């Protein structure tokens, strides 16, 4: 990337402000220390309590904790038997994990273009991509804004498809009054440190389907029928049967202990995210070159990310230049995401090319994620706004 042109002078901030980061306090630290001092540190009662709390929070019948959002996608794709020859439709504007889970199973991820306003997968584009091989849809609630689930559920019903919602960004989101995590076959969540709550690394799958639940449990631990605790405890025998080729994705007690506390703090975290959104909306909409995030009606947004769109027509430089200039101001902007079909792996192995998805390709050079996380104080928020104003003013034609 080119070097930004604002040279000399002092940056808006002296210290770097990341685009997102965790907030861990003494209560969580002490809880993790207690677990370390106990004689059970792998999967056990804390993980089950975390699952109980999570399913209550989302109103789902079941919740299965795993050790990353990626693992959650992988066990979900496995539980519906995505296999070689199967196609699964997802969005190009996502972290590669949403598509990779299909490839892990030997299936083919098929990319359906986004809606240029909401940035979510466009249900009309999903319909165009359906073939006799289509087995499932993975809609991603990008930035925390739910996809148009009524339309997606209807498509799934019409074509007998399964749905795995990727709610890595959408922990407390709602669609028309319904909680995300309780709408379709399965929903996955991520607890990576930049996400709305964290377990350091971790993920969850929710479902209301008893059969899928049993399969998720099996795929989480090698496809074997008995969990480790029973085998290692006094009361357990040695017998177990491996029925599927499963994985090793269970969450440890250390991570679960963090999750239990983080979930209790989610409301206060989200309140702060929404306050930051209000300030950004108010202050940024007066800058002509910036489009603030569009909201579809009748949803609750989780605001994992705040993505602005930059109209570079009136600027002397492109988005990458603005990105670098803001980084020089110590503002940790980011770009979410490089579309899936831009990656060499997908070009080499699936023949995807730039040119195949016009909406996301139009959007990609315009988007910029600006910092949003609960620990940001108002001064941090205004540093971001002032830096954006400074850079845009400097590069205006
Ligand atoms: C949309 C989306 N899906 C899936 C994942 C994977 O989650 P994890 O990093 O916990 O494996 C992420 C994480 O960045 C994500 O943003």
Q: Where in the chain is the domain with CATH 3.90.1150.10?
A: 266-395
pLDDT tens-digit profile of 153-162?
999 999 999 9
How far is the centre of ligand 1, averaged over its atoms, from the C-alpha of 95 (Å)?
A: 6
Burial grade of 363 (CB within 10 A; 0-12, 13-18, 19 or more): buried
Of 329, 357, 309, which is closest to residue 109 (Cα–Cα)?
Answer: 357
Q: Where in the chain is the domain with CATH 3.40.640.10?
A: 26-263
pLDDT tens-digit profile of 298-354?
999 999 999 999 999 999 999 999 999 999 999 999 999 999 999 999 999 999 999
Residue 94 Cα: closest atom of ligand 1: 1
CB atoms inside a 10 Å sphere around CB 204: 27
Produce one character per residue of 178-202: b if its CB has 16 or more CB atoms within 10 Å, e if not: bbbbbbbbbbbbbbbbebbbbbbbb
How would residue 1 be classed by pLDDT, with cut points 50, 70 and 90? very low
Backbone angles phi, psi at 229, to 5 degrees: -60, -45
Architecture of domain 266-395: Alpha-Beta Complex (3.90)
Specify the pLDDT at position 240.
83
Specify the pLDDT at position 107.
98
Percent of the chain at pLDDT exceeding 70: 95
Q: What angle do CA 346, 70, 229 make, to 5 degrees?
A: 145
Specify the pLDDT at position 330.
97
Specify the pLDDT at position 370.
98
Closest C-alpha to ligand 1, atom 14: 95
Report whether residue 97 contacts ligand 1, using a CB cutoff of 6 Å. Answer: yes
Report whether residue 190 contacts ligand 1, using a CB cutoff of 6 Å. Answer: yes
Burial grade of 24 (CB within 10 A; 0-12, 13-18, 19 or more): middle
Block residue for tokens 């990337």: 1
Give yes or no for a contact between 192 and 69, defined as CB atoms under 8 angstroms apart: yes
Using most ligand atoms within 8 A of CB, pick from 70, 140, 205, 336 the residue to mutate for ligand 1. 70
Question: Which of 46, 135, 179, 195 is an active site residue?
Answer: 195
195 included as an active-site residue: yes
Strands 306-310 and 367-370: antiparallel
- Mean pLDDT for 42-50 is 95
How would residue 9 be classed by pLDDT, with cut points 50, 70 and 90? confident
One of 3.40.1350.10, 3.40.50.720, 3.40.640.10, 3.40.50.300 is the CATH number of 26-263, namely: 3.40.640.10
Report whether residue 203 contacts ligand 1, using a CB cutoff of 6 Å. Answer: yes
Specify the pLDDT at position 96.
98
């Amino acid at each position: 990337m080119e070097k930004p042109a604002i040279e000399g002078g002092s940056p808006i901030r002296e210290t770097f402000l990341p685009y997102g980061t965790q907030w861990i306090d003494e209560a969580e630290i002490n809880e993790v220390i207690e677990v370390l001092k106990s004689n059970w540190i792998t999967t056990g009662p804390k993980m089950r309590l975390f699952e109980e709390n999570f399913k209550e929070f989302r109103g789902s019948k079941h919740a299965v904790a795993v050790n990353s959002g990626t693992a959650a996608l992988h066990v979900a794709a496995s539980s519906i038997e995505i296999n070689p020859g199967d196609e699964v439709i997802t969005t190009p504007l996502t972290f590669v994990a949403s598509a990779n889970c299909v490839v892990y199973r030997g299936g083919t991820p098929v990319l359906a273009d986004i809606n240029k306003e909401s940035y979510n997968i466009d249900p009309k584009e999903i319909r165009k991509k359906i073939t006799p091989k289509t087995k499932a849809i993975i809609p991603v609630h990008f930035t925390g804004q739910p996809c148009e689930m009524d339309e997606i559920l209807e498509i799934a019903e019409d074509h007998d498809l399964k749905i795995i919602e990727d709610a890595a960004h959408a922990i407390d989101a709602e669609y028309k009054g319904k909680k995300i995590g309780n709408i379709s076959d399965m929903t996955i969540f991520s607890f990576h440190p930049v996400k709305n709550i964290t377990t350091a690394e971790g993920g969850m799958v929710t479902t209301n389907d008893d059969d899928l639940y049993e399969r998720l449990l099996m795929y989480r631990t090698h496809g074997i029928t008995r969990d480790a605790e029973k085998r290692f405890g006094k009361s357990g025998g040695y017998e177990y049967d491996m029925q599927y080729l499963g994985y090793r994705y269970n969450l440890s007690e250390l991570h679960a202990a963090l999750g239990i506390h983080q979930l209790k703090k989610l409301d206060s975290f989200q309140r702060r995210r929404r306050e930051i959104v209000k300030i950004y909306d108010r202050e940024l909409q007066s800058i002509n070159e910036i489009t603030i995030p569009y909201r579809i009606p009748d949803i609750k947004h989780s605001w994992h990310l705040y993505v602005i769109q930059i109209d570079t027509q009136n600027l002397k430089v492109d988005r990458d230049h603005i990105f670098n200039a803001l980084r020089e101001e110590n503002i940790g902007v980011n770009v979410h995401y490089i579309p899936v079909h831009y990656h060499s792996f997908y070009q080499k192995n699936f023949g995807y090319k730039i040119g195949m998805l016009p909406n996301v390709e139009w959007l990609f050079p315009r988007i910029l994620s600006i910092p949003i996380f609960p620990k940001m104080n108002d001064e941090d928020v205004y540093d971001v706004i002032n830096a954006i104003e400074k850079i845009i003013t400097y590069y205006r034609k």
